[in-house]
Amino acid sequence: MMDAAARRQLAADIDAAARLTGDFVLRSGARANEYFDKYRFEADPRLLKRVAQAMLPLVPPETEVLAGVELGGVPIATAMSLLSGWPTAFVRKQPKAYGTCLAVEGGDLSGKRVVIVEDVISTGGAVRDAKARLDDAGAITIAVICAVWRGGGPAQIEGLDLPVLPALTLDDLKAASTR
């Protein structure tokens, strides 16, 4: 686990890399003068490595496979795999329409204990969808790990009876922000 100072520094660095100011249209259609671009911290190899290192201690020891959720969970799961040696699977939003036509890539997951890896979770909709695809692939999902929990209150996803283990929370980012 990260000590408090390392946690504050990682939160500050993620916030500095990902919080943008300008004129943005949000998914809801509303306009905002600030936007959190999660791909900014995933695209920086030094910051991505630190995020992966912060998430690794959260992985339950019985884990057999890390499953990155398309798109943001894939680079983090890959970085975690490189650092730990755990194999990785990739969960698509939709099965690909050619070749193997799979929704879950990376080998047979039947009966394997899998941890879902995501970058930022607000409501958990993508994680619920990924869990359903992993179930269809025969995986046994045991936990969800994310870089940043942006949902309010304790980290839990409605409709999923799984532990949600965040490296950081929205409150961590707010507390570390210099803006």
d(CA 48, CA 71): 14
**Torsion sign (Cα): 100, 103, 109, 111:** negative
174 is in an annotated binding site: no
Structural domains of the chain, with CATH: 45-168 (3.40.50.2020)
d(CA 23, CA 2): 35
Q: How many residues does the chain have?
A: 179
Q: What is the pTM for the complete model shown?
A: 0.93
120 labelled binding-site residue: yes
Q: Are 85 and 70 in contact (CB under 8 A)?
A: no
122 carries a ligand binding annotation? yes
Is residue 178 a known part of a binding site? Answer: no
Cis check: omega of the bond before 56, within 30 degrees of 0? no
Residue 124 assigned as binding residue: yes
Give me the pLDDT at residue 34, please: 84
Q: Are 146 and 122 in contact (CB under 8 A)?
A: no
Q: Which residues pair with 140 in a beta bridge?
A: 113
Instruction: Check the annotation: does 119 bind a ligand.
Output: yes
Q: Is 123 annotated as a binding residue?
A: yes
Run of H or E including 55:
helix 45-55
Which amino acid is it at 140?
I
Say whether 2 sits in a helix, a strand or coil.
coil
What pLDDT, in 10s, does the model give residues 24-37?
Answer: 987 778 888 888 89
**pLDDT value at residue 179:** 67
Mean pLDDT by 10 residues, the chain (179 residues): 89 93 84 88 96 98 98 97 98 89 93 97 92 97 95 86 94 84
Write the CB contacts of 152 (distance below 8 Å, at least 6 apart in sequence).
none
Tens of pLDDT, residue by residue over 78-115, are 999 999 999 999 999 998 889 888 999 999 999 999 99
Pairing type for strands 31-36 and 19-25 reads antiparallel
128 is in an annotated binding site: no
Known binding residue 92? Answer is yes
Is 8 annotated as belonging to a binding site?
A: no
